[in-house]
Copies of this chain bind each other. A is one copy, B any other.
Amino acid sequence: MSETEFIIEPGRQDIIMTHVFDAPRDVVFKAMSDPELIPRWWGQRGNPAIVDEADVRPGGRWRFLHRDDDGNEYGFRGVYHDVVAPERVVQTFEFEGLPGHVCLETITLEEVDGKTKYTGLSVYQSVEDRDGMAASGMQDGARESLELLAELVAELLSKANS
């Protein structure tokens, strides 16, 4: 399985992550943006995210929740600026536990030799916000999400081919 790679350069305000999916990009786009499929990958293995709101269109709002084993809920929310199937989503992102700290996410899908390169660019309001996010261990969470997304993509592909 493809690795997820991160670019986190000192002094910058962004985090870039890339992952190559062995599938056409319309399948990756569907897995990524279909509200019914989002819980499958936007969470942890064995603990699907709860989709409170996912109005996937420009100006639409999204709000997803993680619930831990003790029943605590952690909310995340934002709005979609652009949803251009099957190539690009631009959205805002805020963890409700740190209100007022917002980032801008740009997810781009490119077809390369029959595979799909996913690039997620997150731009933070300050270097401190970016450094805090990198220090929080978001890489492990993002890596797990993209692994789950890859499994979902493989499942969709296998259904489409059967």
| Interface residues in chain A, defined as those with a beta carbon under 8 Å from any beta carbon in chain B | 11-14, 55, 58-61, 78-82, 88, 90, 92, 94, 100, 102-104, 106, 121, 123-127
Contacts and interface: CB of A to CB of B under 8 A. Distances in A.
Would you call the interface of chain A mostly helix, strand, loop, or mixed?
strand
A81 B100 contact: no
Nearest to A88: B100
Copies of this protein in the assembly total 2
Contacts of A14: 13, 125-126
20 contacts: A12-B12, A12-B127, A13-B14, A14-B126, A58-B61, A58-B79, A59-B79, A79-B79, A79-B81, A81-B92, A81-B94, A82-B102, A90-B92, A90-B102, A102-B104, A103-B104, A104-B123, A106-B125, A121-B125, A123-B125
Q: Which of A11, A90, A106 has the most CB of B within 10 A?
A: A90
A123 B15 CA distance: 13
B125 A104 contact: yes
Given A59-B59, A59-B60, A104-B92, A13 B79 contact: no
A78 B14 CA distance: 20
A13 B11 CA distance: 10
A97 to B, nearest CB: 16
